[in-house]
Amino acid sequence: MNWITRERPKIDRIACPWLIRRFIDPAARIIFVPAQEVMKQAEILQAIPFDVPDTEFSHYGDHCTFDYFLKKYVLADPALHAMAPIVRGADTDNHALAQQAAGLWAISAGLAYNIRNDYELLTVGMQLYDALYSWAKYLPDEKHTQNPTEQLLLQVYASYLKPKRGRKTAVPVWADELRAIIQDHIDTNLTVSLKELADTLQVNPSYVSREFARYFDNLSFGEYIRKLRLEKATELLRTSRHTLSEIAYLTGFSDQSHFTRIFKKQMGQNPSDYRKSLVKSKTHTKG
């Protein structure tokens, strides 16, 4: 069967041929032509056009052509449906749909820049999507356990920042409260970082600040950063043996005390109690 689409593919026009050849028609012939010639050549070559406006195999609403192929051919493989939001997010510039979407876009754009022949690009793209499929099917929960950045941070912490044991100097209550207020201000008012991100995106910082909550769980930028810190901290409590001070450092809190206060406020219990409950849960499960 012949399939035809526009030349210079990047995301959907590589992902769809991969899907066709791997799950629909292994012998499919994929044809790339200039956009204005797609329909004429489709008739001449008796080819099915795809990822072209006003054709069956195209975008529908916020879904891309890859999504339509899954629906049309009733492809129920969970790995394909795990890939779908990644492809959709990369193809529609909505990278919030999946954390891998931005990476897929960057790699695809780079490949298209480096490889000018569309058919050579498709050959390389087939390998790219084979790899993405293998990850989605066999490795979605796999972690890159050898984390050199994290280990380096821990070395810095142990060498220079870890509190030394010994006689403690009394700190007045107002000083502790002031420290907490300053840290809270940093956590919830990251205007400088937000401006840098907006400059990178080439979008007005005021607009990003005003619209941020709409697309990020109804949270301000600072609240969202704090949420990510707590999620990372919770993951480290579950999966690592780091001390609470190390976890506080790795997740951007000023110290263990600040980390414990924010964690308890959001999670309803101290991080140490949370970790103990995980151990008890595992023990009961084994029993």
pLDDT in tens, 237-248: 988 888 998 888
Q: Assess if residue 134 is contained within a domain.
A: yes
Reading the block at residue 257, the tokens are 């005390």
- Spatial separation of the C-alpha atoms in residues 211 and 208, rounded to whole Å: 5
Residues 76 and 154 in one domain: no
Nearest to 129 by CA among 10, 24, 47: 10
Residues 130 and 6 in one domain: yes
pLDDT at 172: 53
Distances (CA, A) of 152 to 61, 144, 145, 149, 156: 46, 15, 14, 5, 6
Residues 117 and 154 in one domain: no
pLDDT band at 211; cut points 50, 70, 90: confident
pLDDT at 228: 79
pLDDT in tens, 72-111: 999 999 999 999 999 999 999 999 899 899 999 999 999 9
Span 108-133, average pLDDT: 97
- Spatial separation of the C-alpha atoms in residues 278 and 272, rounded to whole Å: 10
Residues 153 and 115 in one domain: no
Q: Assess if residue 237 is contained within a domain.
A: yes
Q: Assess if residue 96 is contained within a domain.
A: yes
Predicted TM-score (pTM) of this structure: 0.54
Residues 133 and 204 in one domain: no
Residues 82 and 192 in one domain: no
Per the CB < 8 A criterion, the answer to whether 108 and 55 are in contact is no
Burial group, residue 87, by CB count within 10 angstroms (0-12, 13-18, 19+): buried
Share of the chain above pLDDT 70, in %: 75
Residues 96 and 185 in one domain: no
Residues 67 and 95 in one domain: yes
Average pLDDT, the chain: 83
In sign, the C-alpha dihedral spanning 43, 44, 45, 51 is: negative
User: Is it the case that residue 152 has pLDDT exceeding 90?
Assistant: no
Q: What residue numbers bound the domain in which 225 lies? A: 148-158+172-286
DSSP 48-92: EEBSSTTSSBS-BTTB-HHHHHHHHTT---HHHHHHHHHHHHHHT
Which has the higher per-residue pLDDT, 259 or 164? 259
Residues 281 and 152 in one domain: yes
Q: Assess if residue 167 is contained within a domain.
A: no
Residues 115 and 153 in one domain: no
Q: Assess if residue 165 is contained within a domain.
A: no
Nearest to 96 by CA among 211, 19, 239, 192: 211
Q: Assess if residue 281 is contained within a domain.
A: yes
Q: Amino acid letter at 160?
A: Y
Q: Assess if residue 166 is contained within a domain.
A: no
pLDDT at 191: 40
- Spatial separation of the C-alpha atoms in residues 30 and 38, rounded to whole Å: 12
Total of domains in the chain: 2
Q: Assess if residue 164 is contained within a domain.
A: no
Residues whose CB is less than 8 angstroms from the CB of residue 270 and which lie 6 or more positions away in sequence, other chains included: 260, 263, 264
Residues 113 and 183 in one domain: no
Per the listing, tokens 């937000």 go with 194
pLDDT in tens, 165-183: 665 556 555 455 544 544 4
Which domain CATH number covers 279? 1.10.10.60
Span 214-240, average pLDDT: 82
